[in-house]
Structures are given as structure tokens and as C-alpha cells.
Amino acid sequence: MTKKIPELYGSLVFNDKVMREKLPKDIYKALHRTIENNTHLELDVANAVATAMKEWAVEHGATHFTHWFQPMTGLTAEKHDSFISPLGGGEIAMDFSGKELVKGEPDASSFPSGGLRATFEARGYTAWDPTSPAFIKDGTLYIPTAFCSYSGEALDKKTPLLRSMEALSTEATKILNLLGNTSVTSVSTTVGPEQEYFLVDKDLYKKRKDLVFTGRTLLGAKPPKGQEMEDHYFGALKPPVAAFMHDLDEELWKLGIPAKTKHNEVAPAQHELAPVFETTNIAVDHNQLTMEIMKKVAEKHNLVCLLHEKPFDGINGSGKHNNWSMSTNTGVNLLDPGKTPAENTQFLIFLMAVIKAVDEYSDLMRLSVATAGNDHRLGANEAPPAVVSIFLGDELSEILDSIEKDMFFGKQKRVQMNTGAKVLPHFTKDTTDRNRTSPFAFTGNKFEFRMLGSSLSVSGPNIVLNTAVAEVLSEFYEKLKNISVDEIENAVHELVKRTIIEHKKIIFNGNGYTDEWLEEAARRGLPNMKSTPDALPCFVAEKNIKLFTKHHVFTETEIRSRYEILLEDYCKLLHIEAKTLKDMIRRDFLPALSAYTDQLACGIQTKKQVATLPCNGEQKLLATLSSYYEELFELEEKLVADTLIAESIIDMLEAAKYYHETIIPDMEEIRVIADLTEGYLPDDVLPYPNYEQLLFSI
């Protein structure tokens, strides 16, 4: 390492320190006002910032700039322009104006728009998001931007996220001010996303069409050893993996991404990276970058980083834990139980707001993590069930219980102040248990939403969470706003109590992996949306449209277009999987199998004719493999026919359901027979690397 880490950290980021150095004082201040108050940026400020940014970028070797945005593909998009500007006489200058910084006009017509394209002009706009710092990557200055249509409809994952953060800030500040906490002027949400991934050898990867085209193995018999010995979790890092992680950390640190923790995960070849939490908007950008850099660094190490939710059958898939909290501009974490009565009141209000929000909008929470890839995990006893519930831990549950029963925190020694205020104990992070099976767990001073799939942009789940909590806070505000100061403590107590009674059905501290819980959840009336096609329609439910439009997070048009995109994505993805499987079976697997059975048959004939040797074993094997061949042939034909039917269905929801109910089972049936067959085939007969090689070769 040439540079010391503190020097290296953020060295490619146009961060606050650089801005302070590079910008004239008044410009720096004006920019900060814009960022903090979300106000319009004046052109002279933009020009000055652009000039400073360009100078800094050129000093660091950049030749180009790009507006970097997050279209509905779930990936990021960029189009690079050089800084060069001809001066005449064959000379050039390196130029970058405020206008170029603030606004770009990429053609929107090739990005998913869910019908917005038909109604609106193809032109799209990118608008600088000054709340997320610009950075340099591969010789280009990257400017984080929001992406919208000509008429202002959001076409990306950043715009609604910023709107949801704004909504939460407004509602949270209102209620804090009402409770007498008048120094607070804004509240931001914070996120720390823990990222799981697999590493496989690049040469082996290239030989698997399924991995290349779909990111997961569609076939593959289980190796003799999987994860049953539980010897991989937190195990010593193998040198190639350690080298990869080392390089990855450095690349992330240069970009100011606070990578903190790295370790082996439960499944063989599976690992995890966790950063330190940041403001949600930046955390989302940084997680997108992290996923991209993981892939890039892996390539350099002749590895491939798999971010699919279920790359291998029979061992754990990969998820992402979205650690979430709210924090005031005065630096207080609102989900940290305080030591004083006032802090406790505040904590209880915000805790109850989250509980009520998750209960009332559990359908949206489920929807926000619904993807074809994640369907393989949720409810499969390796990830939380598809039923949303909240884990609070015994101590906090007991406290809520005593509030509900007016026992003033009964058993435990609790002080009651003369004012009537009730003091909560200051319980630390460690007093909440480590329940790993809960979809949404309180972990001492934050909530951990654990249903996300590994490849998902964390934007969606945070949009839902922020908006739902903003809504409940606004309802709380309406209930409390006309109460006099000396009555407020009791009114809050009543509100908390009522909320507990109405929403405790969402709280579950037990083992979420059991069937008993699913039965119990059904009795409690909690929705269980097992698959993506089950979950998606709730997006356009009236109550949810009302939620998003009330807080200006989505317009109804935006919701409907996003719903279309999600359905379309689901169908397209399964279509690609079906076609890939067909191809592998028809062009690779069956020919290999038939060559092998031919060889067996010849061998048998020779033995019989030449030496009349016994060959019952070979004959049995030949019969078994031949019957598998027949079966696979028929199943593959059925898959092809059903895929044609799927393609012909016009209604997207119907199509999605058909893929779920017919195509997936078709694919699973093929897999069962192919995997049985694989168990008989020598390594050199199988036309691609098997699980053993993929999982245990690094």
C-alpha cells in the first residue's frame, strides 16, 4: 500500500474537505445552504462549483464527466462526455460549466419507463443531487443525479427516495417540535446495508451458460459436502479470497465508502461485507457502487462475484440486511432509548411509529423486496419467511406490555417522576437478543430489515419504510397537536398504549422459520405473499396509492408505471431462465448423455460378443440413463411449449402468474431428472463444471 489509509480514504471524492479548500467561502456557504435547505441552486454558484470540480478532477487524472443515475433496471447508468472544448486553431481547453453540472439530457427511450414513454416525450433529464458527493472512477468524474422524464415523472430509484426522506424529515421534525424539542430542524434516515455475495473461479464460471445468462445455476447435483458442517461461517479466509477483500476495501475506501467488516458466510464460497452506516441517500449510492466494484475487483483476481439471491441449490442464498434508523440534525439517534423521561417519550413515539407503519404497510414492505431471485430465499428456512413481522426482544416487549396494562413497567424497578413521566431503563444494544429469523428486528438502536435479496438496490425498501413512518408520524401529530403542554405527557402515553393494542399483532419474538409461526401469523391476519406475482398487485392498492401520493413520493402515474416495470421484469427474467435451461438441456446435456449411453451400449455389445463377460451392471445403468434421457426430452419439449404460451399472454399479471405456476415447476421437474442423471456421469462427460468444482475450487 503506497498511501496510508486516512490519506487514501475518500481520495477520489469531491467531499466537504475538498469543497472547503477549493471553493470561495461565499460559494461554499451558498452550496451548503442549498444542500441543507433543499433550495434552488443559483447559476453563479453552480458555475463556481463546476469549475472547482473540474480542476480537482483534472488534477486527479480525469478527462471525462458523467451524470450517474439509477434507472429502473436496478443498475446504474452513465454516459461519458469529455471536458474538451475546441478553442479554434486546433487547440482545446478543459471546460465544465454550471449548466453541465446541474442538468443533463440523456435519451430516456431505452430505459424502462413502464408506459411513461408512450405518453411523454422520449427526452429525459438528469439533475445533480448535491447531497451525494461526486467522485472519480476510471478517469471520469461521476456526478450523482436524479433521472426524470420531460414532464417531471421520476424514471429512477433516487428521486422517490429523496422525496421519501423529505417526507420523513418534515413529519418527524413537526412532532419533535411539538414535543418541545425545538432545536431540531431536520431529520434524516440512516442505512447500513450488509452485503452477501459468492466468489467463483472465472474460468469455471464462463463454462456455465446458466451462470453467465441468469446469475444462478439452473442445474447441478449437490456435492457430497455442502454447508452442513457449518465450518465456513467466520472461517479463516483463504489467500485468494483475502487478497480480493483487501483490494476491494482499498477501492471502496478511495471512493469514501466506509467498508468496515468482512467475513466468510454460512455457505461454501459465500462472504459478506458490511459498511458503516450513512445517510440513506448516500448509503444507497454507495451500495450500488459497492456491488459494481465487487464485480470489477473480482475479475482482476480471476474470480467472478455472484450477487444473485440463489446461485446454488441446496445451500444458502445471499441477502442484504438493511439496518435503518432516524437521526436529527442535532445528532440524536431517534431509535436510541434515552436516559431521561423526555428522551423516553421521544423514543417511544418513534418506536411506535415504526411498529404501526410496518404493520399497516407490511404488504408494501413485502413488495419492496419481491423479485424472482428473492423468491428462492424468502420462506425457505435460510432467510426470513415471506410474512412480515417485528422482533423487539424480551425486554422491550415487556416494557410495551406494561404500558398496555398500565403497570408502569411493573416488575422491573422503574422510577416515576413527580411530573408523571415514566422512565425507561437505558438498555444497551446487547440486551436485545440476536434473533436471526425475524424479517424486521430491533437491534438496540436501529431496525434491521432482513428480507432484501443480495442484488436489490436498497432504494425501494427505504422508500417504503420512510414513507410509511412519515405517514404514521403525521397521524400522531394530528392527534397531539391541540393538546396543552401539561397534558401532552399523558396524551402521548395514551397514544402509545392504543398503538400497542392495535398493532401488537405484528410483533413476534419467536423462531420465524417454523410452520407453527406461519399458522399463528395466519390467525393474526398477517399477509403471507409467497411469491413476487402474489406481492406486486398491492403496489396499486388504493390505500398504498393514497400513502405515496399524499407524501408526494410517487404520483399515481409513477406507481402504475413502476408496477408494469416490476411485472415485466419478472416475466422477462423467467423467460431468460427458461430459454437458458432449454438451451443447456437440448444442446449440451442431452447430447453428452446420448454420447455416453452410446459408449455404454457399445461396451456392452463388445463384452457380450467378444468375451461373453457379465455386464448386468452396465445394462442396468444404460437402462436407467436411457429412461432419464427420454424423460428429459419430453420435459424439455413441454417447457418449450409452455414458454410459447407464456409469451402469448398479454396481461402482464396473468403472464407473471403463469411463469410462477407453470414455467417454474417445469424448470424444477427438469432439474430433478437432470441432477439425478448427473449423479451417474463421470466428470469429463458432464458438459460443464459441477457444484463441487464451482464451490470448492478457490
Site string for ligand ADP, 277-316 (x = CB under 6 A): x---------------------------------------
d(CA 83, CA 14): 17
Q: Are strands 140-149 and 64-68 parallel, antiparallel or unpaired?
A: parallel
For the bound state, the minimum distance from the C-beta of residue 355 to ligand ADP, rounded and expressed in Å, comes to: 17
Residue keyed to cell 476495501:
249
Q: Is 135 helix (H, G, I), strand (E, B) or coil?
A: strand
- Sole window of 269-277, 294-302, 595-603, 623-631 interacting with ligand ADP (rule: CB under 6 A): 269-277
C-alpha cell at 23: 471553493
Name the 3-class secondary structure at 149: strand
Q: How many residues bind Mg ion (CB under 5 A)?
A: 2
Query: Which among 554, 368, 550 is positioned nearest to 472, based on CA atoms?
Result: 550
For ligand ADP, the binding residues in 434-453 under the rule CB under 6 A are 445-446, 448
Annotate each residue in 220-259 with x if it binds ligand ADP (CB under 6 A) or - if it does not, as one string. Answer: ----------------------------------------
Look at residue 492 and give its three-state secondary structure.
Answer: helix
Q: What is the closest distance, in whole angstroms, from the C-beta atom of residue 592 to ligand ADP in the complex? A: 44
* DSSP-derived 3-state class of residue 297: helix
Report which secondary-structure segment, H or E, holds 496: helix 485-503
Instruction: Reduce the DSSP state of residue 92 to 3 states and report it.
Output: strand
> If phi over 0 gives left and psi between -120 and 50 gives alpha, with beta otherwise, what is residue 256?
left
Question: 341-360 and 159-178 are packed helices; what angle lies between their axes, rounded to 10 degrees?
Answer: 140
Residue 314 CB, nearest approach to ligand ADP (Å): 25
Q: To the nearest whole angstrom, how small is the minimum distance from the Cβ of residue 648 to ligand ADP?
A: 46
Integer-rounded Cα Rg, in Å, for the chain is 28
C-alpha span between 433 and 431 (Å, rounded): 6
Residue 320 binds to Mg ion (criterion: CB under 5 A):
no
Q: How far is the CB of 257 from ligand ADP (least distance, A)?
A: 12
According to the binding rule CB under 6 A, does residue 465 interact with ligand ADP? Answer: no
Binding segment (CB under 6 A) for ligand ADP, from list 139-147, 185-193, 341-349, 665-673:
185-193
383 or 674: whose CB is closer to ligand ADP?
383
325 binds, among ligand ADP, Mg ion, none (CB under 5 to 8 A by kind): ligand ADP
Contact between 113 and 149 (Cβ < 8 Å): yes
* Stretch near ligand ADP under the rule CB under 6 A, chosen from 67-75, 188-196, 492-500, 670-678: 188-196
Using the minimum distance from each CB to ligand ADP, give the nearer residue, 274 or 396. Answer: 274
Q: List the single partner that 274 binds among ligand ADP, Mg ion, none, CB under 5 to 8 Å by kind.
A: ligand ADP
Among the listed residues 275, 461, 687, 689, the single contact to ligand ADP using CB under 6 A? 275
* Sole window of 189-197, 423-431, 487-495, 689-697 interacting with Mg ion (rule: CB under 5 A): 189-197
Q: What is the bridge-based pairing of β-strands 270-275 and 187-201?
A: antiparallel
Q: Which is nearer to ligand ADP, 194 or 558 (CB)?
A: 194
Interface pick for ligand ADP out of 68, 324, 508, 691 (rule CB under 6 A): 324
- Residue 464 as a binder of ligand ADP (CB under 6 A): the answer is no
Measured from each CB, the residue nearest to ligand ADP is 192
Cell numbers that stand for 581 in this block: 435451461
The span of 19-27, 190-198, 368-376, 459-467 binding ligand ADP (CB under 6 A) equals 190-198
269: left (phi over 0), alpha (psi -120 to 50) or beta: left
| Pairwise CA distance, residues 680 & 626, whole Å | 12
Exposure letters 505-518 (e unless 16+ CB within 10 A, then b): ebbbbeebbeeebb
Closest CA to 36 of 255, 187, 258: 187
Min dist. Cβ of residue 132 to ligand ADP (A): 17
Helical H runs in 555-615? Answer: 556-583, 590-606
The residue from 12, 172, 252, 274 that contacts ligand ADP (CB under 6 A) is 274
Judged by beta carbon, residue 192 or residue 533, the one nearer ligand ADP is 192
Give the residue, chosen from 287, 325, 437, 643, that forms a contact with ligand ADP under the rule CB under 6 A: 325
Closest to ligand ADP by CB, 324 vs 477, is 324
Return d(Cα 266, Cα 272) in angstroms, integer: 10
Residue placing its CB nearer to ligand ADP in the complex, 159 or 438:
438
Q: State the minimum distance, in angstroms, from the CB of residue 433 to ligand ADP.
A: 11
**What's the rounded Cα separation, in Å, for the pair 374 and 352?**
29
Under DSSP, the state recorded for 327 is E
Nearest-CB residue for Mg ion: 321
135 interacts with ligand ADP by CB under 6 A: no
- 163 near Mg ion (CB under 5 A): no
CB of 327 to ligand ADP, least distance (A): 7
d(CA 623, CA 630) in angstroms, rounded, equals: 11
Give CB contacts under 8 A, 24+ apart, made by 475-480: 476/175, 476/349, 476/352, 476/353, 477/171, 477/174, 477/175, 477/178, 480/175, 480/178
The interface with Mg ion within residues 41-60 (CB under 5 A) comprises none
Regarding 393 and contact with ligand ADP (CB under 6 A), the answer is no
Shortest Cβ distance from residue 321 to Mg ion (Å)? Answer: 4
Cell 446454488 sits at which residue? 312
Q: Which residues contact 177 (CB under 8 A, 6 or more apart)?
A: 184
Q: Which one of 321, 356, 377, 562 is in contact with Mg ion (CB under 5 A)? A: 321
Which segment (103-111, 270-278, 300-308, 345-353) binds ligand ADP by CB under 6 A? Answer: 270-278
* Closer to ligand ADP by Cβ: residue 136 or 165: 165
Identified binder of ligand ADP from the candidate list 70, 181, 287, 323, rule CB under 6 A: 323
Single-letter amino acid code for the residue at 533: P
Work out what residue 192 binds among ligand ADP, Mg ion, none; the CB cut-off runs from 5 to 8 Å by kind.
ligand ADP
Would you count residue 22 as binding ligand ADP (CB under 6 A)?
no
User: What letters, b where the CB count within 10 A reaches 16 and e where it falls short, cover 12-26?
Assistant: bbbeeebbeebbeee
Q: Which does 140 bind (CB under 5 to 8 A by kind): Mg ion, ligand ADP, none?
A: none
Least distance from ligand ADP to the Cβ atom of residue 447, Å: 9
Q: Which of 552, 534, 689, 599 is nearest to 220 (CA)?
A: 689
Distance CA 606, CA 183 (A): 92
* Residues found near Mg ion in the complex (CB under 5 A): 194, 321
* Residues found near ligand ADP in the complex (CB under 6 A): 190-192, 194, 274-277, 321, 323-325, 333, 445-446, 448
